[in-house]
């Protein structure tokens, strides 16, 4: 399954509805597909999720996946980019192209270690200038990466 016109933001087992709502709004504004990989840590009827996305839900192409394994099996490795704090490879070095999938893990734990090991050469991070700051908010990170990818293409 390939969609070569739009980028995809893939949220793997997201836990915080406000992050997902904000990312859904981002996806709607940029014509980016939002892929949600179950299990979700909330219902998509959650009032906080809806509020963060406001009235933009009808403009967002949302696709649901029953598991990360099913998602990974359905897509070519060369279209997948994984974001983690557990690498030194900066996102600015990723050769994004339209149709690529930008994968982000759950807020509390990130992507599974087995996935990071399997796709080690496809893992990227947002460098932190201050070593006391572990990471950025999920919605902020997705926005930075997506807009950089859009800027390049």
pLDDT of amino acid 48: 65
Per-residue pLDDT, 52: 60
pLDDT of 17-45, one tens digit each? Answer: 889 989 999 999 999 999 999 999 888 77
pLDDT given for residue 67 in this prediction:
98
Once rounded to an integer, what is the mean pLDDT over residues 123-139? Answer: 94
pLDDT digits (tens, 9 = 90+) for 75-118: 999 999 999 999 999 999 999 999 999 999 999 999 999 999 99
Where are the domains positioned within the chain?
8-152
Please say if the pLDDT value at position 54 is more than 80: no
In this model, does residue 142 exceed pLDDT 60?
yes
The reported pLDDT for the residue numbered 5 is 80
How far CA 42 is from CA of 9, 100, 112, 116, in Å, comes to 18, 26, 19, 25
Which CATH number does 8-152 carry?
Answer: 3.40.1280.10
Cα dihedral sign, 129-109-71-50: negative
pLDDT of res. 17 = 86
pLDDT-based confidence at residue 58 (cuts at 50, 70, 90): confident
**From residue 115, how far is each of 16, 24, 147 by CA, in Å?**
21, 24, 25
């Amino acid at each position: 399954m390939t969609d070569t016109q739009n980028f995809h933001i893939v949220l793997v087992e997201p836990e915080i509805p406000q992050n997902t709502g904000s990312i859904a709004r981002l996806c709607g504004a940029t014509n980016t597909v939002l892929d949600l990989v179950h299990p979700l840590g909330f219902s998509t009827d959650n009032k906080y999720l809806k509020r963060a996305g406001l009235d933009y839900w009808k403009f967002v192409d949302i696709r649901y996946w029953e598991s990360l394994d099913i998602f990974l099996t359905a897509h070519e490795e060369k279209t997948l980019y994984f974001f983690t704090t557990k690498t030194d490879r900066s996102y600015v070095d990723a050769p994004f192209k339209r149709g690529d999938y930008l994968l982000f893990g759950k807020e509390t734990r990130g992507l599974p270690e087995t996935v990071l090991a399997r796709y080690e050469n496809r893992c990227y991070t947002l460098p932190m200038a201050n070593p006391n700051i572990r990471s950025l908010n999920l919605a902020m990170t997705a926005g930075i990466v997506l807009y950089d990818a859009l800027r390049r293409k």
